[in-house]
Structure 1
Amino acid sequence: MKNIAILTLGLRHNYGGILQAAALYNFLKREGYNPVLLRKYPVQKGWKAIIIKALEILPFQNLKGFRNSYIKYINNIQFFDEYMPNQTKIMTYKSQIEEFLNKYEIDAIVVGSDQVWRYTYINDTEYDTYFLNFKLNREIKKISYAASFGIDTWEAPSENLNIKKYLSDFNAVSVRESSGQEICKKDFGKYDVELVLDPTLLIDQSFYLDMIKNKSPKNYDCITYILDENTEKKELVKKINVECQHKSVFNLLTKSSKLSVQDWVASFKSTDFIITDSFHGMVFSIIFNKDFLVIINKDRGADRFYSLCKILGLESRLVTPDSVAIDRMAPIDYSKVNEILDQLRVKSKQFLINSILE
């Protein structure tokens, strides 16, 4: 049985980030591999680390959201242990990962998914960790699966030559957005880059249905999951709900809400309509075949939405805060969407499995 290490951004309170890692881990497990999650977190030094830690553990406050994020992280540990039981201790330095890879019989390392290649998101002095630039005492296959740059440009052109060198050492490279293919070509001279599905779409719906089988959330006409709320988005959400005649609406990001990962997934299954500015909020709307609208979140990366929706023929579901009118759209024809997804799922599975075997 081949041992496959998974490297992604540090998992804490981001539902989408957690679920994409769990999906990739369990897909590999179902395919007969032995996955191990590398628990990599950003390097934090000096007073900044001390202040953040203090804000996390100090009760009766939520300055900059650190306290709530910490509570969500603690609540998510049980999910990590249940769905990704084979995991390393928490590591902050590249040298620790190198030590692990050299000590254990790891056959391949997969970096992805999510925005592992967005330079400003890595938030780390050793960004090349996510380009698998390790000193290894033996050959280990290097694979990227659905790696994302988040936006349609590479943010650190001064590093182009280094990235070109690192990618040349990969056995197989795949990205999540078509713009990622263009970045690899234009900035790094890497042409053999595959476009694949996010891991949450790679694994079939039964994985999530089993995950929420004991959950019975209240049914709402609409749920909203807005990560970066502002006045313009609030007004647009109100307008959408009025025009779509939603009588009951639930905000998944209410201050009192500390949903478990399972509760979060179950909320998407139980509603009829979703309004979100989250990539994975959009993805889980699609997984459960729900009608939805996405308010484009440019700061977090607009191309993530455009790339997937263009492939699936869902561009009309993307709106902006300054949209003049929101028409009452006909329900999404998921027979067409699911047919395309099935084809992409086969292609994505073949890429990942072949990359490990070859």
Structure 2
Amino acid sequence: MIGILTFFQCYNYGAYLQAYALHKYLKQKGYDNEFINYRSKLSEKNEYRHLVTVDGKKSGAYFRILLKMLRFKIYHRKLKKTKRFYHSEDLNTIHYQTVLVGSDQVWCYTREWGGFDPVYFSYGINARKIIAYAASMGPDNYDREHPEVINSLMKNFDSIGVRDTNTFQFARLFSGKDPQIVLDPVCLYDFEKECKETTLEPYILFYSDALTPSETVIDELQRTAKEQGLMLVSLGKKFSWCDTNILSASPFEWLGYIKNAQFIMTCMYHGLLFSIKYRRNFAVFLNEHRKNKCLDFLENAGLTDRVIDRETKFAAIFASPIDYTRVQKFLDKKRKASEVFLDNCLKDHG
């Protein structure tokens, strides 16, 4: 049995889908696996407060947000997992031959709900072999000052796969090993059976947690949608300038909305990956703490021309198709390398 330690029991589409993808990929390869159902109470509390309040007051979309959380809980229950653990000390009661830490930004501790949690850096993990797969620091820069304990904990990893250059530098600095940049698990699994088709009329999809582009870009986005006869749809968050706000989609309905969009505007890492996965035309808007997550991937894939900045006009990107033949060659090469990495890590797993 392989244990997976990652974010899977939160209410974020990308977090759930990356966890689900890794679980299913390992099953396809013949590896039985389960999620280590660990999360601190502080992390749960902070995420709940963030979801249901705006400026300290109950959100106007409170009941739709609760419906979204309920639907996520249904999907959480479908995953194979251990009993619930709230404290790192309790993890000593379970043992694995192999534990995979990741993917997602499990090594980001300044912006995650529970703050610094040494468990994700290997503390308390009872396993013969500890592997990181597609782990990320998210917006935390590798050269910032880190908690001292990280220096010793990172040396417990037998192999380290990361999903971006910033995390590569961090892992190499603190582990003393040679990390490898690998693909997020959603790029290893096809979701063909899970994706639920939508029935919306043609639309431009906007996907963001809270970040918005400039007023100029929003005006362009609205104008282009009107000129093209398309609805402007926000997925997962309410924005008053969108025609429709879909707040309570299930994870697999979320896939359908991405897959069937005429165009996607996003600042989210998994919004970007699924736009590419389904070969959608898309644009990305970023701020400083999003660059580590998205810009690195766009640079490697040769897609930096999809980034909207002060000089770039949305209408120009909207009218510019993507050469997915070239992008697919990059993905195929990285997918093969990622699969080889995992195979090598798990080849002596009993």
TM-score range, shorter chain: 0.7 to 0.9
Partner of 2:200: 218
Write out per-residue CA displacement over residues 50-91 of structure 1, whole angstroms, 9 at most, x where no aligned residue: 9968x97xxxx8349876554322211222333x2x112222
Counting aligned pairs with the same residue, the percent is 25
Partner of 2:168: 181
1:281 aligns with 2:281: no
Partner of 1:94: 88
Aligned partner of residue 228 in structure 2, secondary structure = coil
Q: Pairwise CA RMSD of aligned residues?
A: 2.9
Partner of 2:332: 342
**Hey, what's the Cα distance between the residues in 2 that align with 1:131 and 1:65?**
36
**Alpha-carbon distance, 1:324 to partner:** 5.1
Aligned partner of residue 16 in structure 1, secondary structure = helix
Structure 2-normalised TM-score? Answer: 0.85
**Hey, what's the Cα distance between the residues in 1 that align with 2:22 and 2:144?**
28
Structure 1-normalised TM-score? Answer: 0.83
Partner of 1:291: 281
Write out per-residue CA displacement over residues 238-297 of structure 1, whole angstroms, 9 at most, x where no aligned residue: 314535743212221335621111111100111121001111111110010000001114
Aligned partner of residue 293 in structure 1, secondary structure = strand
Aligned partner of residue 284 in structure 2, secondary structure = strand
**Alpha-carbon distance, 1:155 to partner:** 7.7
**Alpha-carbon distance, 1:325 to partner:** 2.8
Work out whether residues 217 and 270 of structure 1, in 8 Å CA contact, stay in contact via their aligned partners in 2: no
**Hey, what's the Cα distance between the residues in 2 that align with 1:225 and 1:52?**
20
Runs of 4+ in 1 over 4 A off after TM superposition: 48-53, 63-70
Identify if the C-alpha distance between structure 1 residues 280 and 158 changes in structure 2 by more than 3 Å, giving closer, same or farther.
closer
**Hey, what's the Cα distance between the residues in 1 that align with 2:167 and 2:211?**
27
- The amino acid of 1:226's aligned partner reads S
Work out whether residues 237 and 275 of structure 1, in 8 Å CA contact, stay in contact via their aligned partners in 2: no
Write out per-residue CA displacement over residues 112-143 of structure 1, whole angstroms, 9 at most, x where no aligned residue: 1111001213444761100112264xx52100
143-152 vs 221-230, greater mean Cα deviation: 221-230
279-288 vs 117-126, greater mean Cα deviation: 117-126
1:264 aligns with 2:258: no
**Hey, what's the Cα distance between the residues in 1 that align with 2:268 and 2:14?**
9
Partner of 2:29: 31
Aligned counterpart in structure 1 of residue 291 of structure 2, from 277, 292, 302: 302
**Hey, what's the Cα distance between the residues in 2 that align with 1:219 and 1:197?**
33
Identify if the C-alpha distance between structure 1 residues 4 and 23 changes in structure 2 by more than 3 Å, giving closer, same or farther.
same
Partner of 2:242: none
Write out per-residue CA displacement over residues 16-36 of structure 1, whole angstroms, 9 at most, x where no aligned residue: 000000001100111101110
Counting only pairs closer than 5 Å after superposition, residues 67-146 of structure 1 correspond to structure 2 as 69-82=65-78, 84=79, 86-101=80-95, 106-124=96-114, 127-134=117-124, 136=126, 139-146=127-134
Work out whether residues 217 and 263 of structure 1, in 8 Å CA contact, stay in contact via their aligned partners in 2: no
Identify if the C-alpha distance between structure 1 residues 210 and 256 changes in structure 2 by more than 3 Å, giving closer, same or farther.
closer
**Alpha-carbon distance, 1:212 to partner:** 2.1
Counting only pairs closer than 5 Å after superposition, residues 50-65 of structure 1 correspond to structure 2 as 62-63=58-59
Partner of 2:300: 311
Aligned partner of residue 354 in structure 1, secondary structure = helix
Partner of 2:136: 148
1:209 aligns with 2:192: yes
1:159 aligns with 2:159: no
**Hey, what's the Cα distance between the residues in 2 that align with 1:50 and 1:13?**
12
Write out per-residue CA displacement over residues 176-219 of structure 1, whole angstroms, 9 at most, x where no aligned residue: 10121122234x2634100000111122x3xx221125x33314
* More helix by percentage: 1
**Hey, what's the Cα distance between the residues in 1 that align with 2:83 and 2:270?**
27
- The amino acid of 2:306's aligned partner reads R
Work out whether residues 12 and 72 of structure 1, in 8 Å CA contact, stay in contact via their aligned partners in 2: no
Aligned partner of residue 251 in structure 1, secondary structure = strand
1:194 aligns with 2:175: no
Identify if the C-alpha distance between structure 1 residues 212 and 50 changes in structure 2 by more than 3 Å, giving closer, same or farther.
closer
**Alpha-carbon distance, 1:146 to partner:** 0.5
**Hey, what's the Cα distance between the residues in 1 that align with 2:143 and 2:64?**
30
**Alpha-carbon distance, 1:10 to partner:** 5.2
Identify if the C-alpha distance between structure 1 residues 182 and 331 changes in structure 2 by more than 3 Å, giving closer, same or farther.
same
What are structure 1's unaligned runs of at least 5 residues? none
218-227 vs 21-30, greater mean Cα deviation: 218-227
**Hey, what's the Cα distance between the residues in 2 that align with 1:312 and 1:107?**
35
**Hey, what's the Cα distance between the residues in 1 that align with 2:141 and 2:229?**
41
Work out whether residues 181 and 194 of structure 1, in 8 Å CA contact, stay in contact via their aligned partners in 2: yes
**Hey, what's the Cα distance between the residues in 1 that align with 2:31 and 2:136?**
24
What are structure 2's unaligned runs of at least 5 residues? 239-244
